[in-house]
Amino acid sequence: MRYATIPIVHRVGGLRDTVEPFDGKTGTGFTFESFDAYDMLDAVYRATYCYYQERHIWNKNYEECNSTRCKLEKNQHYNI
């Protein structure tokens, strides 16, 4: 999210707290639970499908991701 991209992440540690799974309507990224290549490939497939087949949903997800990035950067300055 730092570079204005929609992340595909393994849900561990801080990523579990930062990236909300995209469920088709809301969320800030595409996630996968198990440490498995097929599970990761499924997350990549879901992201690719959303990008090519449902561009209006992808753009909404992109906007939500960018707004979250701004909130995270703002909070980071307060923690220093």
Q: What is the pLDDT of residue 3?
A: 66
Contacts of 13 (CB under 8 A, 6+ apart): none
Dihedral of the alpha carbons of 50, 53, 56, 60, in degrees to the nearest 10: 0
Question: How confident is the model over 7-44, as pLDDT tens digits?
Answer: 889 988 877 778 888 887 777 888 999 888 999 999 99
**pLDDT at residue 77 greater than cutoff 70:** no
Could you tell me the pLDDT band of residue 69, with boundaries at 50, 70 and 90? low
Which tokens sit at 69?
Answer: 């990035």
Strands in the chain per DSSP E: 8-10, 30-32
The predicted model scores a pTM of: 0.71
